[in-house]
Structure 1
Amino acid sequence: MYVIDIDNTIAQQPFDNLQIEQLVKSPSLEILSISLAKGATFPKHSSPKDAHLVVLEGSIDFHIENQIVTLTAQQHFGFSKEVEHWVKATADAKFLVIR
């Protein structure tokens, strides 16, 4: 019999400034759940791997290479490793980073 393990981390993650939870970590895959309260920022950083960002709810401004990419619920954006970027929530937002 297969054991099913349901995780409610995303649903329970509060909108309290910046919250980061690691949902999956393996040698080939990492999935982070990120919650940002309206007006909060995820400071400038870079990813060690090419990554994909999927907005679950709310809206964010993704700042990368002198551009601002506005993303809202159910939109997806891919970006390259080692490129500095930062994120600001324009509304309470939750998104996944998959890398």
Structure 2
Amino acid sequence: MYHVKNTIKSQGFDALQIQKLVKNDALEILSISLEKGAIFPEHTSPTDANLIMLEGAIVFHINGEDYSMEAMEHLSFAKEEKHWVEAFKDSKFLIVR
């Protein structure tokens, strides 16, 4: 049986929100929302990952570089690289790893 879920659509903009959409042995997908001005603090990913912007505008900080991103843009990054994210607008993005 299939179920359509509205987890991403209903996820609010209240500071930093993280929802696990999928988790199995091969794949993890996280839905992340950041309120304008909020910061996702410095952290690392346990595996190589992809950030897929859905809406808003962020700056992705990694290895001393800043990457401005908006809706419908994509960025790949390596595991265990320290990074952090700052929202310039209410923003939603997916992390696929």
Normalised by the length of structure 1, the TM-score is: 0.97
The alignment of Structure 1 onto Structure 2 pairs a total of residues equal to 97
Aligned positions of 1:1-80 closer than 5 A: 3-80=1-78
Shift >4 Å, 4+ stretches: none
Within 2, Cα distance between the matches of 1:26 and 1:68? Answer: 31
User: Are 2:91 and 1:96 equivalent residues in the alignment?
Assistant: no
Partner SS for 1:20: strand
Supply the RMSD in Å over aligned alpha carbons: 0.4
Gaps spanning 5+ residues in structure 2: where? Answer: none
| Structure of higher CA gyration radius | 1
Gaps spanning 5+ residues in structure 1: where? Answer: none
Q: Percent identity?
A: 54
> C-alpha displacement at 1:4, in angstroms?
1.8
Within 2, Cα distance between the matches of 1:51 and 1:59? Answer: 19
Within 2, Cα distance between the matches of 1:71 and 1:88? Answer: 10
Within 2, Cα distance between the matches of 1:77 and 1:47? Answer: 14
> C-alpha displacement at 1:25, in angstroms?
0.1
Within 1, Cα distance between the matches of 2:67 and 2:33? Answer: 18
Normalised by the length of structure 2, the TM-score is: 0.99
Within 2, Cα distance between the matches of 1:5 and 1:76? Answer: 27
Partner SS for 1:11: helix
1:40-75 deviations in Å (ceiling 9; x for gaps)? 000000000000000000010000000000000000
Within 2, Cα distance between the matches of 1:45 and 1:4? Answer: 34
